Structure 1
Amino acid sequence: MRELPPTAGLPVQWRDLLPRRADADLESRLRTILGIGELQITCSGTAALVTALITLSRNSARSEVIVPAYTCPLVAMAVTHSGLRLRVCDLMRDGLALDTDMLASLCSSRTLAILPTHLGGRVADIGATRDCAAHYGVWVIEDAAQALGARHPDGTPVGMLGDIGVYSLAAGKGLTMYEGGLLVSRHAELRAKMRVVANELAPKKRWWELRRSIELVGYAAFYRPRGLQWVYGMPLRRALSEHDFDAAAGDRYRMRIPLHRVGNWRRGVAARAAVRLPEHLATLQQQARRRIAHLQEIPGVEVMGDAPGAQGVWPVLMLCMPDGHSRDGVLARLWGAGMGLGIPFAHALPDYQGLQDMVPRLAVPNARDFAARVLTISNTPWLDDATFIRIVEVIRQVCDPGAAVRPSVSMRARATTPD
């Protein structure tokens, strides 16, 4: 059985695993490819966020961090791990930006940082967030874990328009070392302080680095349609059969956040793979633009896009369905079918049972509505046109059961030719 990945990660090739003396280091290579500027390697995107938060808190009496009500549960865990208080802000209606009215009501002299998120590679408008932060003297940390390579409307790399940016190099991301992260800032003094904190928080731990190295070799072996059925597809279908949707969405995490230094070999693997990243991102963008047009023809379906003028990256196509019933109808037929469908996260943050001690229960209607209606289609090049047509047909049938399915001529003509 072919099993497509839920996101369009850059595959690791076997030659990436072989060290070469002439290699450029990962930091230099990413500065050249992405124009990010000076950056810091961490053992995960969560570790990057913890490093940023602890650095800021050491130089301030403020103790509150405002995060989107719909984001990765690891964000809440990172805030708590850093000894800070989590404040949750609703989303704008049918959007990814923070609700401006609620954000203004949450900001105060106690607010240390605001964490806007660029979910699924989409570039959120953070203009209002920056204005609010400037008014209260608050730091802005861009959560660009899923948006490495994206750019704001003015051309600034996502992650560099706020004060700090964090990225993930986890499995399935655009670039990976199985688990890893990047930390950036446009402030030289802040970069220096974060390096000091990172050296304190993340000592060398040989066991963790050995474990991650073995997992990276496994990723190189299994991250392909034939291998993913064993390491991803089978656990997914088991979780779905048990109605454990948190596990199916990948939202089960250990409460302990590993902190350790990344070894030279894994850095080298990522550096060698990074050479292929620009072409990979361009391929995904071209494929996404072509396929979005077919999804936009389905009544009631909204394909999530970027802030005007911004250029995101496309690990997935993220859809907002007309209602929760239609979203669940599509997932019932296609989630677990090996076609790369899924959801970003299972719930809004206040609705995770495992986070009840971290996240206050409060009204976040837009985030809950978004959580109920969103689904993602992998934008992996392994998803051929014929399979994509089948996905479009199912979505159209669920949204309008009486409609006849007629894929466009251009799509049918390409269905026999893999991307």
Structure 2
Amino acid sequence: MSGATPVPFLDLAAVHLDLRDDLDVAWKEVLAHGRFINGPEVAAFEAEFAAHCEAAHCVGVANGTDALELILAALEIGPGDEVIVPANTFVATVEAVCTVGARPRFVDVRPDTLLVDPDAVAAAITSHTAAIMAVHLYGQMADVDALGKLAAQHGVAVIEDAAQAHGARYQDRRPGGWGTAAAFSFYPGKNLGALGDGGAVVSDDAQLIDRIRQLADHGRSATDRFVHEISGRNSRLDTLQAAALRVKLARLDRMNENRAALVERYRRGLPSWCVPVAVDPAAQPVYHLAVVQVPDRPTVTSALDAAGIGWGLHYPVPCHRQPPFAEYADGPLPVVDAAAERILSLPLFPGMAPEQIDLVCEVLHDVPI
């Protein structure tokens, strides 16, 4: 162990190293034409990303949180409405619901995948329910088949929070084709990450996409740029970010395959007490994060720290226990609450050396559990 190279949790510099030449070309092309807002790269990326998602339409926006909020706003979900949200998610999912004036209804997750439990969703539906948030966490899609059937039965929307699921599949279909629309984040650490903030909405509903595009561009008329037909906002995907995303999109499937191989190496090498989240038989994850559950997290993280190994937590304080959203908690959520004490994210990024995986596993085997 002495002299071993430390393992970072995420090494974005290494991820971008072999992309540098193509990124330099993209940067120079944008500088040459100077259309930094709504340049041709934006429309090109939208078309390419829609095709990658096997969906009809895509609109780029400023970030993933805006993507969720714009979907809700375009569906005219607001005060008096309820949106069902799994408590095990990043706070942006809940922020979007609250920003449009709707009420989040928190539900529990499945103990094996830690993804939203359709049975809990069914029990939470009321006459005020307007939408179900299908959060595709850690790179795995939720049970959109069951959620879609519930939504159809009750006449509500399914909004896919796909911020961590670029390229994932469920029953061989990608996000954006199951629900009303899917929201993506291109935060730099995502499977498809920009060189800053960025986001997108993908949907087969052309009218919904047109409405979101208008809302995101100050409510501007599609036929007269000087007329603002509705009150909107400024949430556009910058040309430079679209250009970088086009470079990375061409390599996304290959990078996702690399992530899957690394996680499989983890599964073979981890000690028995270190349990990775399960994979739904109908799902094909892209492993945004390598999440495990451990019995004594402080002891485990201390050992990782001592060995120079990075780690993360996603998410140790569930949304229903966060101060701004605690008022919406209807009761205990035992699976989420128990998992919050046990979850741990291990290092994972494309290009990570297999030997780095082996080192992490070796350190974990030596932890006195």
TM norm. shorter chain > 0.5 = yes
- After the TM superposition, which residues 23-38 of structure 1 pair with which residues of structure 2 at under 5 Å, given as runs? 25-38=44-57
Name the one with the larger helix percent.
1
Q: Would the aligned equivalents of 1:331 and 1:342 in 2 still touch at CA under 8 Å?
A: no
**How far has the Cα of 1:384 moved from its partner?**
2.8
1:254 aligns with none
Partner amino acid for 1:68?
P
- Does the 8 A contact of 2:160 with 2:176 survive in 1? yes
Please tell me whether the aligned partners of residues 139 and 285 of structure 2 are also in contact (alpha carbons under 8 angstroms): yes
Judge conservation of contact 2:256–2:350 (CA < 8 Å) in 1: no
> Equivalent of 2:90, from 72, 92, 117?
72
Question: Corresponding residue for 1:218?
Answer: none
Q: Tell me what 2:333 maps to.
A: 364
Contact 1:10 1:172 in 2 (8 A): no
Q: Distance in 1 between matches of 2:52 and 2:185?
A: 16
The verdict on how the C-alpha distance between 1:201 and 1:14 changes in structure 2, with shifts beyond 3 A counting, is farther
Contact 1:116 1:129 in 2 (8 A): yes
Gaps of 5+ in 1: 203-257, 402-419
Following superposition of structure 1 onto structure 2, how do residues 4-403 of structure 1 map, counting pairs within 5 Å?
Answer: 4-6=8-10, 10-11=15-16, 13=20, 15-17=22-24, 18-20=27-29, 25-57=44-76, 63-153=81-171, 155-177=172-194, 178-200=196-218, 259-295=234-270, 298-321=271-294, 323=295, 326-334=296-304, 338-356=308-326, 359-360=328-329, 362-381=331-350, 383-398=352-367, 401=369
Q: Secondary structure at the match of 1:200?
A: coil
Show CA shifts across 1:51-95 (max 9, x none): 00111126x886111100111011111111111111101112233
The secondary structure found in structure 2 opposite 1:142 is strand
Q: Shift of the alpha carbon at 1:107? A: 0.4
TM-score by length of 1: 0.73
- Give the whole-Å Cα distance in 2 for the aligned partners of 1:338 and 1:383: 15
Preserved CA contact (<8 Å) 1:57 1:112 = no
Distance 1:375 1:157 in 2: 26
**What is the RMSD of the two structures over their aligned residues, measured on CA atoms?**
2.9
Distance 1:376 1:13, change over 3 A: same
Partner Cα separation in structure 1 for residue 306 and residue 159 of structure 2? 35
Note if contact 1:4-1:340 (Cα within 8 Å) is conserved in structure 2: yes
Give the letter for the 2:245 counterpart.
Answer: A
SS of alignment partner, residue 285 of structure 1: helix
In 2: Cα distance, 1:97 partner to 1:344 partner: 13
Equivalents in 2 of 1:106, 1:318: separation in Å? 27
Distance 2:52 2:15 in 1: 15
Quick one: structure 1 residues 315 and 92, their matched pair in 2 at CA, closer, same or farther if it must change by over 3 Å? closer
Q: Give the letter aligned to residue 85 of structure 2.
A: V
Counterpart CA distance in 1 for 2:134 and 2:52 is 24
What is the CA-CA distance between 1:10 and the residue it aligns to? 5.0
Q: Where does residue 224 of structure 1 map in the other structure?
A: none
User: How many residue pairs get matched?
Assistant: 338
Q: Distance in 1 between matches of 2:142 and 2:136?
A: 5
Q: Give % identity.
A: 26
